[in-house]
Amino acid sequence: MSNLRFQVVAEAFKKKPLDVKVPAERPSEYFGKYVFTRDKMFRYLPADTYAKMIDVMDNGARLDRSIADAVADGMKKWALEMGVTHYTHWFQPLTEGTAEKHDAFVEHDGKGGMIEKFSGKLLVQQEPDASSFPSGGIRNTFEARGYSAWDPTSPVFIIDDTLCIPTIFIAYTGEALDYKAPLLRSLHAVDKAATDVCQLFYPDVRKVTVNLGWEQEYFLVDEGLYSARPDLLMTGRTLMGHESAKNQQMDDHYFGTIPDRVQAFMKDLEIQALELAIPVKTRHNEVAPNQFELAPIFEECNLAVDHNMLLMSLMKKVARKHGFRVLLHEKPFDGINGSGKHNNWSLSTDTGVLLHAPGTTIQENLRFITFIVETLMAVYHHNGLLKASIMSATNAHRLGGNEAPPAIISSYLGKYVSDLLDSIEQTTDLNPQTAKHSREIDIPQIPDLIVDNTDRNRTSPFAFTGNRFEFRAPGSSVNCASAMIALNSAVAEALQDFKERVDKRSEELRVKSEESAAAQPTAEATPSTAEANSSLFTIHSSLKYRAIIDVLREDIKTSKPVRFDGNGYSEEWVTEARRRGLDVEKSCPVIFEHYLDESSVRMFEKTKVMNRKELEARNEVKWEMYVKTVQIEARVLGDLAMNHIIPVATHYQSKLIKNVQGMNDIFSSALFATEKARRLSARNIKLIEEIAERTEKIEQFVEELTDARRVANRIQDIHQRAIQYHDTVCPHMEAIRQEIDKLELIVEDGLWTLPKYRELLFIR
């Protein structure tokens, strides 16, 4: 055990779980301890200010700047009592992370001293340097002004000694430079469109809310081992490494007993998350070794996104305290499961859940069907855009295998819902048996199971799971908002279009009905009281509901190509998906082009979520981030290949050469020239030749990789440069890895300097 690898492995084995101090209170009592919750607002704000803030938060009323000073004063009093000394505007630029600049609660008092001060002006608005964040050309160094503006719908919170104020981030010229601003616009668009459609069935509905429940998957790696892998340190994933003889094939890690060190980390993380009002609920081992998952209770979408971004930052901090590093990369290890961030998306109103399973009345069923079908229409019409919203250089490694969905966006509905839609397409039956049912288990002590109305399909990127859609395609490291902006906007457009066509069809039916009535010489028979009170009669006699059913039938047929309940991994599905007109492209830079499809631009502008200039700028950022990600990986891989792998391999080769030379000296004596000795010598010669062949290929491939980068870097257009990186640089990286992974199996274990998969994945 002479090299660094063995030392860090030995240290990792010795580590014990940290003792986590658990609060004496119940979780419900310290939940939101460091958040300016409504309860604290009630205590620290004047009554009229509190009432206005609640109106802003609950009803979307415009924030009155006149109350900003009172709100800031109340926040400051609470924060100072909590030991806070600084404040910051906390925002989400297009870096997939968060940003903050801390300022102290101090001003000159005019008498040579200082006072604690925090005004409404500082709460509402600040001025970060917009040119220092990705902007896609909207801001240049000589045009640096940008603004962060308070989002009152997401509560402020405390991290260490700093009051964090969630904000949007926009350019001086008004364009959004972050994820939150377009997310808020998309939520408003869904609220308006969905409320209008809801009122076709229930006129008392006044508000529709988008709910999000994310599931955060991640890997934990011992910090010492992480530091001994430059590729993990620099890129977040292993750019090389032969698979371990044992990985996940025994299915013994999923839902297994949580290791003690990991349990201590999870406990510490959960306590701190709950204190920040992040409603974490579920934790468990995931499928791959050292892979885990954390999931919260559903929340309003904007708040859920903020909480996920905050949690990812918190995870990294807590992990280091416990001697771990969190890997949020979508595919840190080859050959085993990657990590996703499943986005469970649903809609609810101020009166109930919209995507709840069909009810007991035809009216409830028709409402349910409408929102299912129009969501499918959104997925069908913006199939490529939804894929672009979840695509990245890192997620591209994950999609298409090991329980990750394929890079083809389709929707799994399950037998019952599919049968329901097929039935409506063919008949007027709105009451199929789609409710949950029980299933007997032939064991006396076990109660009957309540079976859901849908199964699960882990290969489906967008699956209906009972009262929500699970968007399984987003990657673990990204901001949830990217997928939610695209989905919300597409659904809002579909609902707007649905309402317009229903109104038009209703008017056509009304005119036709009046013309038919005028042509009748006698009045039609009046229905009986029983018929008038019948829901069935009400639905079918209403021109509005007839119009709804007519439009739904059209949309069920139109959106049918996006419905797929089979195996998303099969080659047959790729061929079938292409035939159906779905996007089957795999090149990440090409997929991004869907943001600039005319249908996408039209949809974003119609819903007032983003304009063409903002979309063009975001695509510039996406292409640039893709190039930089692959560029860094290529540089790191080239460095490791030439400065780690080849020296180790040639050193081992030299040892083998000396061994052969020694054996040849022995062979000169007839006494030792045995057949067995000759075979041993021949084996070593074969290894020497293989090492020489593979190192020569690595040197050649690294040179070709460098040349490919240089050629790509000379391309001025960032879009074409990204495509060039995908088409020419990435294949060379795969070729280099293949040779290195083979060498790992050949070179003496004691000489190999980089921690191997069997050590990275199984150290606790």
Give the model confidence (pLDDT) of 166-209 as tens digits. Answer: 999 999 989 999 999 999 999 999 999 999 999 998 889 999 99
What global pTM score does this model have?
A: 0.92
For residue 696, give Cα distances in angstroms to 577, 646, 650. 42, 9, 11
Pairwise pLDDT comparison (452 vs 177), residue with the higher score: 177
Taking a C-beta distance cutoff of 8 angstroms, is the pair 218, 292 a contact? yes
- What the block records as the tokens of 588 is 């990440």
Tokens 């673990």 belong to: 476
Average pLDDT over residues 265-283: 96
pLDDT band of residue 401 (cuts 50, 70, 90) is low
Looking at 89-172, list the stretches that DSSP marks H as alpha helix, in order from N- to C-terminal side.
Answer: 120-124
Considering only CA atoms, which of 90, 74, 63, 3 is closest in space to residue 36?
74
For residue 149, give Cα distances in angstroms to 10, 55, 128. 50, 19, 10
- What the block records as the tokens of 564 is 């797929």
pLDDT at 603 over 90: yes
Taking a C-beta distance cutoff of 8 angstroms, is the pair 473, 392 a contact? no
Average pLDDT over residues 479-504: 97
pLDDT of residue 452: 53
pLDDT of residue 453: 54
User: 755 CB contacts (<8 Å, ≥6 apart)?
Assistant: 5, 8, 9, 225, 228, 229
Taking a C-beta distance cutoff of 8 angstroms, is the pair 38, 280 a contact? no
Considering only CA atoms, which of 331, 367, 610, 316 is closest in space to residue 476?
331
Tokens 């469109």 belong to: 193
pLDDT of residue 537: 42
> Burial of 724 by CB count in 10 Å (0-12 exposed, 13-18 middle, 19+ buried)?
buried
Distance of CA 392 to the CA centre of its chain: 11
Report d(CA 536, CA 316) in Å as an integer: 57
pLDDT at 438 over 60: no
- Residue 467 is which amino acid? N
How many CA atoms lie less than 13 Å away from 330 in the CB half-sphere?
27
Report d(CA 305, CA 278) in Å as an integer: 11
pLDDT of residue 660: 82
pLDDT at 700 over 90: yes
Please write down the HEC assignment for all residues of 486-551: HHHHHHHHHHHHHHHHHHHHHHHHHHHHHHHHHHCCCCCCCCCHHHHCCHHHHHHHCHHHHHHHHH
pLDDT band of residue 428 (cuts 50, 70, 90) is low
Considering only CA atoms, which of 613, 645, 629, 660 is closest in space to residue 745?
645
Phi, psi of 173 (to 5 degrees): -90, 5
pLDDT of residue 101: 92
Average pLDDT over residues 701-707: 97
Report d(CA 647, CA 479) in Å as an integer: 40
pLDDT band of residue 670 (cuts 50, 70, 90) is low
Q: Sign (positive/negative) of CA torsion 81, 86, 91, 94?
A: negative
Q: Sign (positive/negative) of CA torsion 582, 588, 591, 592?
A: positive
- What the block records as the tokens of 48 is 């009229």
Which stretch of DSSP H or E encloses residue 705?
A: helix 675-713
Average pLDDT over residues 461-478: 92
Q: Assign residue 277 a region: left if phi > 0, alpha if psi is -120 to 50, beta otherwise?
A: left
Q: What is the pLDDT of residues 33-53, one digit of tens each?
A: 999 999 999 999 999 999 999
pLDDT band of residue 20 (cuts 50, 70, 90) is confident
pLDDT of residue 521: 63
pLDDT at 515 over 90: no
State the pairing for strand pair 162-171/86-90.
parallel
pLDDT band of residue 134 (cuts 50, 70, 90) is confident
* Portion of the chain with pLDDT greater than 70, in percent: 90
pLDDT at 265 over 60: yes
pLDDT at 435 over 70: no
Helix 362-381 × helix 481-519 angle, to 10°: 120
Which stretch of DSSP H or E encloses residue 50?
A: helix 47-59
Q: What is the pLDDT of residues 79-117, one digit of tens each?
A: 999 999 999 999 999 999 999 999 999 887 778 777 878
Distance of CA 587 to the CA centre of its chain: 19
pLDDT at 642 over 50: yes
Please write down the HEC assignment for all residues of 607-672: CCCCCHHHHHHHHHHHHHHHHHHHHHHHHHHHHHHHHHHHHHHHHHHHHHHHHHHHHHHHHCCCCC
pLDDT band of residue 252 (cuts 50, 70, 90) is confident
pLDDT at 535 over 70: no
Report d(CA 301, CA 279) in Å as an integer: 13
Pairwise pLDDT comparison (437 vs 358), residue with the higher score: 358
- What the block records as the tokens of 159 is 């991290």
End-to-end alpha carbon distance in the chain:
20
Pairwise pLDDT comparison (359 vs 546), residue with the higher score: 546
Pairwise pLDDT comparison (154 vs 540), residue with the higher score: 154
Pairwise pLDDT comparison (63 vs 732), residue with the higher score: 732
pLDDT of residue 540: 45
Pairwise pLDDT comparison (111 vs 761), residue with the higher score: 761
- What the block records as the tokens of 317 is 């901090």
Q: Sign (positive/negative) of CA torsion 394, 398, 400, 404?
A: negative
Q: What is the pLDDT of residues 349-377, one digit of tens each?
A: 988 778 876 666 777 888 889 999 999 99
pLDDT band of residue 243 (cuts 50, 70, 90) is very high
SS3 250: coil
Average pLDDT over residues 448-471: 72
Report d(CA 343, CA 332) in Å as an integer: 21
CA triple 358-359-365, angle to 5 deg: 55
pLDDT of residue 429: 55
Q: How many CB atoms lie within 10 A of CB 731?
A: 14
Looking at 567-606, list the stretches that DSSP marks H as alpha helix, in order from N- to C-terminal side.
Answer: 571-580, 588-591, 598-606
Pairwise pLDDT comparison (283 vs 144), residue with the higher score: 283
User: 46 CB contacts (<8 Å, ≥6 apart)?
Assistant: 70, 74
Q: What is the DSSP string of 557-572?
A: HHTGGGB--S-TTSHH
For residue 702, give Cα distances in angstroms to 724, 755, 757. 17, 22, 23
pLDDT band of residue 441 (cuts 50, 70, 90) is very low
Q: How many CB atoms lie within 10 A of CB 662?
A: 11
Of the ranges 11-20, 120-129, 666-675, 690-699, which one carries the lowest mean pLDDT score? 666-675
For residue 230, give Cα distances in angstroms to 39, 641, 660. 47, 12, 34
Of the ranges 403-407, 449-453, 569-573, 656-660, which one carries the lowest mean pLDDT score? 449-453
Own/partner long-range contacts of 86-89 (Cβ < 8 Å, ≥24 apart) = 86/161, 86/162, 86/163, 87/118, 87/122, 87/162, 87/163, 87/164, 87/165, 88/162, 88/163, 88/164, 88/165, 89/126, 89/128, 89/148, 89/150, 89/165, 89/167
Q: What is the mean pLDDT of the chain?
A: 88
